[in-house]
């Protein structure tokens, strides 16, 4: 598995060059949202029904799981079957390995093994039928790292690593965590695959009218948060305490980010009527995603994308 930065800071030893003459036509960027991310399945079902072909996938956090399955060739109905059948208690029992020595409640190695054993079956990113990129964040710099090679399960593990809950993933001297800390919807990650058109799906907090988001941003400006950010800047080591402090600071600062699409991209916003932990309510999230896609499909820009 190799890491690259975003387009503005690519490290050529890791970067996979894009051949512009064979660039994908339409790329899909799937954001996080944990249980709410099941809405991605509804969007994928809507795209299939509309005859919309996706030529490149990027994902972060829960969206990384969905993007990887789609890029590896799983049709939307199969992805839906996998999402619906998950038993959260079984998942916790099979995948939890306590990692307090790693500055997190859960280490994450058993989680990656569970993903590999039940969903990805040893697949590697470069084996995907459709180009795939997974977004992560470098814990100590807060910069985007894009994974284009290596184990799909390990890449997804890194992209889902929430500081304090899931341990960071060490890769080539760096510590990788949730890619959503850099961008809630991974457009910059998708851009590395060179699609001519980009569509993103946002399933997280309603940025226009979210009291929770307002409270989190207010917390980020509070005196304890200012002290936390100051301590994170001061720390130089890479020991568990440094990783925990820097991770908590990074997590809190991430709520400053917007989820808007760049000028050359389209965004599908969906707000599933479930909480982030309501995995047992995935059918409601899937339905919300399909409805959001159908609303988007009625727009002129959507019709142009589908026709491309």
Catalytic center residues: 61, 178
Question: How are the residues of the chain apportioned to helix, strand and coil, as percentages rounded to the nearest 5?
Answer: 50, 15, 35
Pairing mode of beta strands 3-4, 144-147 = antiparallel
Phi-psi region of 205 (alpha: psi -120 to 50; beta: other; left: phi over 0): beta
> In whole angstroms, what is the distance from residue 63 CA to residue 99 CA?
24
Alpha helices in 51-205 (DSSP H): 62-71, 76-85, 88-95, 109-115, 152-159, 187-191
Q: What are phi and psi of 14, to 5 degrees?
A: -110, -20
> In whole angstroms, what is the distance from residue 66 CA to residue 144 CA?
20
- C-beta atoms surrounding 48 within 10 Å: 15
> In whole angstroms, what is the distance from residue 187 CA to residue 260 CA?
10
Q: Which contiguous run of DSSP H or E holds residue 252?
A: helix 240-253
Q: 45: Cβ–Cβ under 8 A, 6 or more apart, which residues?
A: 76, 77, 80, 286, 289, 290, 293
Do the beta carbons of residue 285 and residue 203 sit within 8 Å?
A: yes
């Amino acid at each position: 598995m190799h890491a690259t930065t975003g387009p503005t800071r690519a490290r050529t030893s890791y970067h996979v060059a894009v051949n512009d003459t064979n660039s994908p036509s339409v790329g899909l960027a799937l954001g996080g949202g944990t249980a709410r991310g099941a809405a991605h399945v509804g969007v994928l079902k809507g795209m299939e029904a509309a005859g919309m072909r996706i030529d490149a996938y990027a994902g972060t956090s829960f969206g990384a799981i969905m993007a990887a399955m789609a890029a590896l060739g799983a049709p939307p109905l199969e992805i839906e079957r996998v999402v619906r059948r998950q038993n959260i208690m079984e998942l916790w029992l099979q995948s939890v390995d306590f990692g307090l020595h790693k500055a997190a409640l859960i280490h994450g190695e058993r989680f990656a093994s569970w993903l590999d054993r039940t969903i990805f079956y040893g697949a590697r990113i470069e084996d995907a039928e459709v180009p795939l990129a997974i977004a992560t964040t470098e814990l100590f710099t807060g910069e985007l790292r894009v994974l284009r090679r290596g184990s799909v399960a390990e890449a997804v593990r890194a992209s889902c690593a929430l500081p304090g809950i899931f341990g960071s993933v060490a890769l080539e001297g760096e510590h990788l965590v949730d890619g959503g800390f850099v961008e809630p919807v991974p457009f910059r990650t998708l851009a590395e695959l060179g699609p001519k058109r980009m569509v993103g799906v946002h399933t997280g907090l309603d940025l226009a009218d979210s009291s929770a988001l307002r409270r989190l941003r207010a917390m980020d400006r509070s005196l304890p948060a200012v002290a936390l950010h100051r301590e994170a800047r001061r720390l130089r080591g890479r020991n568990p305490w440094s990783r925990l402090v820097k991770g908590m600071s990074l997590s809190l600062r991430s709520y400053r980010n917007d989820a808007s699409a760049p000028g050359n991209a389209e965004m599908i916003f969906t707000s599933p009527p479930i909480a982030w932990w309501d995995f047992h309510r995935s059918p409601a999230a899937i339905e919300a995603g399909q409805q959001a896609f159908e609303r988007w499909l009625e727009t002129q820009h959507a019709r142009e994308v589908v026709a491309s």
